[in-house]
Copies of this chain bind each other. A is one copy, B any other.
Amino acid sequence: MADNEMNQQLANLIQRVEDLEGKVAEDHLTLGVMKGDLDYTIAAFIIALGAAAYDMKVDMFFTFWATAALRDPKKKAKKGFLDTMFGWMLPRGTMKLPLSKMQMCGIGPKMIRSVMKLHKVQSLEELMAEAGKMGVRIHVCTMSMDVMGIKKEELIDYPHMDYVGVGTFVGMFDRAKQCWFM
């Protein structure tokens, strides 16, 4: 092969490798959290922490029912009639989350919590505190907050929390290694 030709092939190859580098997934996990039950929220944080321990960047997008899990029972917000009504019906923070199964009028969640304690599994509240320390970011879906009538003032203090639209979420998972919706 002539030097000239090799130069061209090399330049062409550099371009193709650059394109590939721009397309390959980043070390990044995004979790869409929608269900907002105790068991699913625990699962989401256990996986988030597992991935963070592997040095993956982790972004959680809280939407629909799951936004109610971020309410702080000690905080109040001024609301209109419809929002207040929704506020009554939605769980006020993690301690009120139902189980997706075996709810049994509230006995189920207490049983799971006590068995988890017995087996020295961290509680949801401890998992969330650790997620904050590990740099796991929580993005709250603004549209869901509007629909559910949930205000920023009533949400928990979390070190890496912001309020975003669906577009931001799509941008986030675009190059993430994995993105789940649970």
> Which residues from chain A sit less than 8 Å from chain B, CB to CB?
1, 3, 6-7, 9-10, 13-14, 16-17, 20-21, 23-25, 32, 34-35, 39-40, 43, 46-47, 50-51, 53-54, 56, 63-65, 82, 86, 89, 100-102, 111-112, 115-116, 118-119, 121, 143, 146-149, 166-167, 169-171, 173-182
Contact = CB atoms under 8 A, between A and B. Distances in A.
Instruction: Please tell me how many copies of the chain the complex holds.
Output: 3
Contact of A23 (B24, B146, B180): B24
Interface residues of chain A: helix, strand, loop or mixed (majority): helix
B174 A177 contact: yes
A127 to B, nearest CB: 11
A119 B101 contact: no
